[in-house]
């Protein structure tokens, strides 16, 4: 547990050896600990590992790295939504009020509508861009996502944190689009950070994972109790896979963000594209805020084509880029967000830049735009 808040050195989280644990000739790669239970003689008092729903050495290894990166204690969950529902279910009681972004991740809203509203929690949904003006005084929890996805509107985390603190509301930040390497939500004042590690943190589109982190030990004890009792636990194999993915997170993000910047600039100049959003574009309305609170500009670029015909032609003509949902993987993806959410503009394409060379990405988008 962290005694006091600290700014982590996250330049390469993998290379923080837990030296006291090193044993001569121990394997460098520990491998997953496949076990449902542990040797336990006599009294269980003081035991850490006694049953597989409560703890596992593979989770612990992953959590140590995530704790280092977040600058607050981290707990892993089997998906981003398992992490998110743990925070909601263990904190919100009947009579409490939750503020949610209307334009944030859709499953957070559906979960709240289906399982919190009927338990007497009042939900208020507002567009992210209005959060700065809203009065927080009646809220018990404020849920933030910045950059909002897929609109890529930014919200000033530090300013919202100050307002939330004054209103005695908990501030939760969904940091999936940025990862802890791109944005340090706890440093910026959030009480809790959640992240879907299914995206860039694992980064290989081959398993789901999520985590919760906070600097409040009581909060983390509550979240841990939820995990142990609800049974929303991670498989040892998946823990090991994400730990392997993390070794290259910094490298992958550097390549992805560099290409995303080039793609956004290319889209901004293209006659077939009516508008583009990318926090790294100097012309983007949120660029100054991005420079203030983000360490990277991200791997997502959103742009608009004229209409459904343009969208069909563009997506149909892409060669290297896969048409798929999700983002943050080594492969580039593109999709029309309207197919999930009819409040979105028909022409809105979310492009998730992968680890291919920027020449390949730009060439694929350019040739697909030729057909529009």
Q: Which residues are at the interface with ligand PLP (CB under 6 A)?
A: 79-81, 105, 107, 145, 149, 174, 176-177, 196, 198-199, 208, 210
The least CB distance from residue 337 to ligand PLP, in Å, is 12
Both tokens of residue 312?
């069909």
Among candidates 287, 305, 298, 299, which has minimal Cα distance to 345?
A: 305
Q: Give the C-alpha separation, 223 to 89, whole Å.
A: 9
Partner residues linked to 170 by β-bridges: 141
Question: Both ends of the chain: CA-CA distance in Å?
Answer: 55
Nearest position to ligand PLP, beta carbon: 80
The least CB distance from residue 235 to ligand PLP, in Å, is 14
Residues in the chain: 372
Q: In the complex with ligand PLP, which residue's Cβ is closer, 103 or 145?
A: 145
Q: Cβ atoms within 10 A of the Cβ of 245, count?
A: 22
Q: In the complex with ligand PLP, which residue's Cβ is closer, 211 or 215?
A: 211
Residues 6 or more apart in contact with residue 39 via CB below 8 angstroms: none
Look-up of token digits 């959410």: 341
The least CB distance from residue 80 to ligand PLP, in Å, is 2
Strands 300-304 and 275-277 turn out to be antiparallel
Q: Give the C-alpha separation, 361 to 14, whole Å.
A: 29
The least CB distance from residue 229 to ligand PLP, in Å, is 20
Q: What angle do CA 322, 243, 76 make, to 5 degrees?
A: 95
The least CB distance from residue 178 to ligand PLP, in Å, is 10
DSSP alpha helices (H): ranges in 152-269? 157-166, 179-182, 217-230, 236-246, 249-268
DSSP calls for 199-230: TTTT-SSS---EEEEES-HHHHHHHHHHHHHH
The least CB distance from residue 286 to ligand PLP, in Å, is 17
The least CB distance from residue 277 to ligand PLP, in Å, is 16
Q: In the complex with ligand PLP, which residue's Cβ is closer, 308 or 325?
A: 325
Q: In the complex with ligand PLP, which residue's Cβ is closer, 35 or 230?
A: 230
The least CB distance from residue 296 to ligand PLP, in Å, is 16
Q: In the complex with ligand PLP, which residue's Cβ is closer, 208 or 267?
A: 208
Q: In the complex with ligand PLP, which residue's Cβ is closer, 92 or 242?
A: 242
The least CB distance from residue 198 to ligand PLP, in Å, is 4
DSSP alpha helices (H): ranges in 318-353? none
Kindly calculate the radius of gyration of the chain based on its CA atoms and give it in whole angstroms.
21
Q: In the complex with ligand PLP, which residue's Cβ is closer, 178 or 369?
A: 178
Q: Cβ atoms within 10 A of the Cβ of 52, count?
A: 16
- Give yes or no for a contact between 117 and 97, defined as CB atoms under 8 angstroms apart: no
DSSP class of 145: E
Q: In the complex with ligand PLP, which residue's Cβ is closer, 160 or 368?
A: 160
Q: In the complex with ligand PLP, which residue's Cβ is closer, 210 or 236?
A: 210
């Amino acid at each position: 547990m962290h005694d006091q808040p600290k700014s982590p050195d996250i330049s390469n989280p993998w290379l923080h050896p837990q030296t006291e644990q090193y044993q001569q000739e121990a394997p460098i790669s520990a491998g997953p600990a496949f076990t449902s239970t542990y040797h336990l003689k006599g009294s269980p008092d003081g035991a850490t590992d006694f049953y597989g729903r409560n703890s596992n050495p593979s989770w612990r290894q992953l959590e140590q790295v995530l704790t280092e990166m977040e600058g607050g204690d981290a707990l892993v969950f089997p998906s981003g939504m398992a992490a998110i529902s743990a925070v909601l279910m263990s904190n919100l009681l009947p009579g409490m009020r939750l503020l949610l972004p209307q334009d944030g991740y859709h499953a957070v809203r559906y979960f709240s509508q289906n399982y919190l509203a009927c338990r007497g929690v009042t939900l208020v949904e507002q567009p992210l861009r209005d959060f700065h003006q809203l009065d927080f005084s009646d809220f018990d929890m404020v849920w933030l996502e910045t950059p909002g996805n897929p609109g890529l509107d930014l919200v000033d985390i530090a300013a919202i944190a100050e307002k939330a603190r004054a209103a005695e509301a908990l501030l939760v930040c969904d940091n999936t689009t940025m990862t802890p390497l791109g944005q340090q939500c706890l440093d910026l004042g959030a009480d809790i950070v959640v992240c879907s590690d299914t995206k860039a943190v694992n980064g290989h589109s081959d398993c789901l994972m999520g985590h919760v982190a906070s600097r409040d030990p009581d909060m983390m004890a509550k979240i841990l109790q939820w995990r142990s009792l609800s049974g929303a636990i991670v498989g040892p194999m998946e823990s090991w896979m994400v730990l392997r993915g993390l070794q290259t997170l910094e490298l992958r993000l550097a390549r992805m963000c560099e290409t995303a910047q080039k793609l956004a600039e290319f889209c901004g100049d293209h006659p077939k594209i009516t508008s583009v959003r990318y926090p790294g574009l100097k012309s983007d309305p949120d660029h100054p805020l991005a420079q203030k609170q983000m360490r990277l500009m991200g791997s997502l670029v959103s742009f608009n084509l004229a209409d459904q015909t343009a969208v069909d032609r563009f997506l149909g003509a892409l060669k290297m880029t896969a048409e798929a949902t999700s983002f943050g993987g080594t492969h580039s993806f593109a999709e029309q967000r309207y197919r999930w959410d009819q409040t979105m503009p028909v022409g809105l394409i979310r492009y998730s830049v992968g680890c291919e060379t920027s020449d390949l990405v730009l060439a694929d988008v350019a040739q697909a735009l030729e057909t529009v």
